[in-house]
Structure 1
Amino acid sequence: MLKIEFLYWEDCPSHPEAWQLLQEVLAEEGLDWPVERIQVAGDLDAQRWDFPGSPTIRVDGKDLDPPGADQMGVALACRVYRLDSEEGSRFSPVPSREMIRRGLLAARGDAAPGLTST
């Protein structure tokens, strides 16, 4: 069974939406994987968890958006995700449903229909 970590900073208003999206995608895919919910409370916690901002989702230690995490560095801040689509790119305070699904299925060893692993 894979390990999922949901890291968040309480002062960031987007973490409840990301938590809900994660729960929905897990249910849609029929994945009964435990999720460790980790509150990052200060700068020391941010360093300890190598925290690129809130919310962060890791599957078996791998961030859903490694390039985005690398760009953010370690910060006790709200995170920004770059979402690409046929219409272009936009920035969002939460990962997309597709980004979450792709990360979960890649960790499981699958590929979602119409999506490629990165």
Structure 2
Amino acid sequence: MTGPKVELLWWSGCPSHGQAKEMLEEALAAAGLDPARIETLQIVTTDEAAREQFIGSPTIRIDGEDVVPQDDPRPALTCRLYLRRDGRPGPLPDPADLRDALARALDRS
């Protein structure tokens, strides 16, 4: 499978991972990529969070890069809070941030 590696990391304590997967599938399809390429990984323990550099659920990485890098990326079993481009907080990244991250990855490949 060519193209970027796409990962969705999640923790069961946060309910937004299903919506994150749907959003990611839509973004991949819009970019002409097969949504089946998404690798999902459930994070269960704090050791796994540290090993995977998981800073909250859901985390989306493309080619190993977080689609919305954080200033203080401490691993934790927690829900993630994203700031959308209009300044509103929410449990999912802004769709434009996701599209931009995919576009950067496609430009590199």
TM-score of the aligned structures, taking structure 1 as reference length: 0.82
Ranked by relative contact order (alpha carbons within 8 Å, sequence separation 6 or more), the top structure is: 2
Distance in 1 (CA, whole Å) between partners of 2:50 and 2:73 is 13
Stretches (4+) displaced over 4 A: none
Aligned length: 105
Q: What residue in structure 1 maps to residue 92 of structure 2?
A: 94
CA contact (8 A) 2:53 2:73 kept: no
Whether 1:7 and 2:34 are equivalent positions in the alignment is no
CA contact (8 A) 1:12 1:77 kept: yes
Q: What residue in structure 2 maps to residue 73 of structure 1?
A: 74
1:80-111 residue CA offsets vs partner (Å, 9 max, x unmatched): 111123xxx1111111211111111111118x
Amino acid of the residue matched to residue 104 of structure 2? A
Distance in 2 (CA, whole Å) between partners of 1:16 and 1:96 is 16
Question: What is the correspondence of 1:26-37 to structure 2 with a 5 Å cutoff?
Answer: 26-32=28-34, 34-37=37-40
Unmatched tracts of structure 1, length 5 or more: 111-118
Unmatched tracts of structure 2, length 5 or more: none
CA contact (8 A) 1:53 1:76 kept: yes
Amino acid of the residue matched to residue 98 of structure 2? I
Distance in 2 (CA, whole Å) between partners of 1:19 and 1:35 is 8
Distance in 2 (CA, whole Å) between partners of 1:92 and 1:107 is 24
